[in-house]
Amino acid sequence: MDRPVRVRFAPSPTGFLHVGGLRTALYNFLFARHHRGKFVLRIEDTDRSRYVEGATENLIRTLKIMGLQYDEGPDVGGEYGPYLQSQRLELYRQHAQQLVESGHAYYCFCTPAELEAMRKRQEAAKQPIMYDGTCRRLTAEEVQKRLKQGKPYVVRLKMPREGETRFSDLIRGDVAFQNELIDDQILLKSDGYPTYHLANVIDDHYMEISHVIRGEEWLPSVPKHLQLYKAFGWEPPQMAHLPLLLNPDRSKLSKRQGDVAVEDFLEKGYLPEALINFVALLGWNPGTDQEIFSLQELIEKFSLERVNKSGAVFDLNKLNWMNGHYIRELPEEKRVAFLTPFLKKAGYDVSDPEKTRKVIAAIYKRIERGIDVKEQAAIFYQDHLEIREPEAREILQKESARTVLRTFLQKIAPLHELDVQTFSQVMKEVQRETGFKKQDLWMPIRVALTGVTHGPDLPLVIEILGKAKIESFVRQVLSAEN
């Protein structure tokens, strides 16, 4: 590395953090930590039309929940601040003026109506939609005249009209753009606010950013940015453009296809560690079959050389599998603390900590997300047993099953209580009296107590339900019509 590694995550506060934004933040974080560099959070809040109140605070909170602690940012400070672009406006205006004076940018006085008419002419002629350079051709006298008249203006970048702009991307290799196809980008808007392009370049320079790691959608912006670096006489950072995130049908991942905000996943009971692990593998691979990584392992193994060029498919089934793995790996105390709020949200009584602990112990191996507890824990909180599975209903319709259940009911009737030990003894007696073994013996009991053919371990079910509810459920099954 020629200079110390300094990278930044620079979101716009326009809403919740998208999983694509999480991946960009994560890759920047991993790259910085791997190279013992600095990870900077910068909020690009100059587009006031899209600004959402509270979005900055939400971004900061989400990054911290996900364990991506930055070294510099709006709330932690740093020697290169301020880290909110809205607090750096004078710097952008000065540099926009400098570009005009050096001949690398120009004032554009075209009105919105004139720009719309221009766009329609280009569409009708099947030409590329871009600014046609009307104000670029104005003489110095014409420009001064319009400025004196107080006409509103923007500042546009004066892109070269010939040749090409080439650069080497750390992921994509050599990339080339034809300059004639690149628009004269607006750099400073009529309200005095900079566009993304001007503010981005200026801030990356003054914050001494060494590597820009961002999404593939910003690739067409690179020629404009390189032109700005050249105009200012600055050394550009190295660049790496990450592949798109795709749905399984290869369409671009977007809000229209469902949840894409990190908050949505957290609310449904995905663990931050699982999300981080899953998102890390969306475009990057370690070169081995390993799929489960701690954050420290990701830091040690991450490199841009192993990031793919092609789009990465967001496989929700894999995320669910991975999250289930992380839930099962939690120490019991943490698992209970994580899943109890989901039981409460589902409407279940969690006032008895011991019962709650037992319920979670019974179901946690069968869930993949926090919200799955609603269905899996239902049997422990309901008074009426619902049997929806066709296979379960078929089992209970067999005369052999009803024989087992009637015998079981007779055997537990004189008992004061039914615990794991007495249950085991009862089942031995039922087996001796009925002659049924294995599935024919155990499956009717399982279905009668849980309503399903596959569920929590029966000893755990017995311990939680207690004798009264067990008797009630078995009687409900026996009294139901065949």
Coil, strand or helix at 254: coil
For residue 219, the 8-state DSSP code is G
Coil, strand or helix at 176: strand
Active site residue 255: yes
d(CA 279, CA 206): 30
For residue 193, the 8-state DSSP code is P
CA 422 to chain centre: 49
Point out the catalytic residue in the list 151, 230, 255, 428. Answer: 255
CA 53 to chain centre: 21
Long-range contacts for 227-231 (Cβ within 8 Å, ≥24 apart)?
Answer: 227/104, 227/157, 227/159, 227/160, 227/165, 228/99, 228/104, 228/157, 228/187, 228/197, 228/198, 228/201, 229/201, 229/205, 231/99, 231/102, 231/104, 231/105
Give the amino acid at 46.
Answer: T
d(CA 363, CA 269): 15
Coil, strand or helix at 432: helix
Pick the closest to residue 45 from 84, 17, 82, 76 (CA basis).
Answer: 84
d(CA 192, CA 102): 19
d(CA 461, CA 464): 5
Question: In a 10 Å sphere around its CB, with 0-12 CB exposed, 13-18 middle and 19+ buried, how is residue 14 labelled?
Answer: middle
Name every residue whose Cβ is closer than 8 Å to that of residue 234 and which is 6 or more positions away in sequence.
Answer: 205
Could you give the count of Cα atoms lying within 13 Å of 205 in the half-sphere of its Cβ?
Answer: 20
Count CB atoms within 10 A of the CB of residue 90: 9
d(CA 203, CA 87): 12
Pick the closest to residue 138 from 177, 100, 89, 86 (CA basis).
Answer: 100
User: Across the chain, how many H-helices and E-strands are there?
Assistant: 19, 11
d(CA 33, CA 25): 12
Residues classed as catalytic: 255
